[in-house]
Amino acid sequence: MEPGNNTRILEFLLLGFSEGPELQPITFGLFLSMYLIAVLGNLLIILVVSSASHLHTPMYFFLANLSFVDNCVTSTTVPKMLWNIQTQSKVITYAGCITQMNFFIIFSGLDIYLLTVMAYDRFVAICHPLHYMVIMNPRLCGRLVLVSWVTSVLHSLLQTSMVLRLSLCTEVEIPHFFCELNRMIQLACSDTFFNNLVMYLAAMLMAGGPFIGILYSYSKIVSSICGISSAQGKYKAFSTCASHLSVVSLFYCTGLGVYLSSAATQSSHSSATASVMYTVITPMLNPFIYSLRNKDIKEALMRFSGMVAIKGPIVLGLKNFP
């Protein structure tokens, strides 16, 4: 088969989950609900961290950034899927598909880096508590976030530029609900060996490397906690890591499930379903994990809700004042 010319491909068809028409309203309602919960939950975390002065610490600075990135991940994929369901159209333009893929690579990479930085923050807090504020100073925190952004953007530009060089076949159907890198490469008629090589090497370096860093940090944390004599001290030290450890486990387990399901089965429906865990479920659950397992967040949420409840009647009273 002669390779096609990618300049002739003007649009793709996102097949999504390929449900029957009778299931479309249910799918739309389900994903809209999960999307709104994820966006509002993460937005609430950002507002609470910003408004509570006692949460202006490195740990919650990184948490606010993670919540922002989680909102970006879901907003990159879900709104287009909802629009396609609502309009009964599966079309996405070539430029729109490349743009969606580009931003998804950026924000998913940022998720990985921020979780790694948060693990390092907990490592310093528990293993070097006396030097914590000196080591985790605002300049270092800002640089860590900046390096995460730059690395993710450069990686995305590399992958996107390589996809743009591919010659695409006349087959324009993407068996997914968003333009994933792997799916885009599979549409090519030209040789994709180098693309696949770079994709898997990048996955090993950008996901495997940070995961090893997280494991190392928590191995040191566990050793330090075991060295604490009092049971109350051990509980307090562990409680500061419980939320982050839960999010890391959820993130990597769902991400690993996506890739294992893709490798074990050729069913595009199974791969799309597994990707929902990574793109929608995990960002939706993160605010609940941090709000339920973190005492400081729960107290700040109660204060924030109290402030909103007090300001509401005051604002209404001012509006009604002649």
6-317, superfamily in CATH?
Rhodopsin 7-helix transmembrane proteins (1.20.1070.10)
The stretches of the chain forming alpha helices (DSSP H) are 24-51, 58-87, 94-127, 132-135, 138-164, 181-186, 193-203, 209-226, 231-264, 268-276, 282-293, 295-320
pTM of the model: 0.87
Cβ atoms of 74 and 38 within 8 Å: the answer is yes
Domain extent listing, the chain: 6-317
The mean pLDDT value of the chain amounts to: 83
Bridge partner list, 174: 14
Are the beta carbons of 257 and 277 closer than 8 angstroms?
yes
Per-residue pLDDT of the chain (322 residues; tens, 9 = 90+): 344 444 456 788 888 776 667 778 888 999 999 999 999 999 999 999 998 888 899 999 999 999 999 999 999 999 999 998 888 888 999 999 999 999 999 999 999 999 999 999 999 999 998 999 999 999 999 999 999 999 999 999 999 999 999 888 776 888 888 998 888 888 888 888 899 899 889 888 888 899 999 999 999 998 888 887 777 777 777 777 888 888 888 888 777 666 655 555 555 566 677 788 888 988 998 888 887 767 778 777 788 776 655 555 544 454 454 4
Q: Is 179 helix (H, G, I), strand (E, B) or coil?
A: coil
Asked if 10 and 94 touch (Cβ cutoff 8 Å), the reply is yes
